[in-house]
Structure 1
């Protein structure tokens, strides 16, 4: 099972045809879902903590 977002390059006909021809199962993904990658949220929090005093 392959997971991807709905970026324009992922929705291109060529990409869709490739997955279909190679019997790749795609996991559905909502068009405007929030970023659920926890490490990105963690690094954002860390950066705010480190620089919160303007240093």
Structure 2
């Protein structure tokens, strides 16, 4: 399976500041409200992998 196709998971790493981390590229993302799913993210903006739910 192609690494790009295998996807990633956005993991909540700091609940107080609403920070998520891509499980593959390890890039951090902070959301003002909710998380990646609620903000309609389908791909990690850094590595381009599809976000698995």
Which has the larger helix fraction?
A: 1
Task: Please report the TM-score for the alignment, with normalisation by the length of structure 2.
Answer: 0.21
Q: Structure 1 length normalisation: TM-score?
A: 0.21
Determine which structure has the larger strand proportion and give its number.
2
Q: Which protein has the larger Cα radius of gyration, Structure 1 or Structure 2?
A: 1
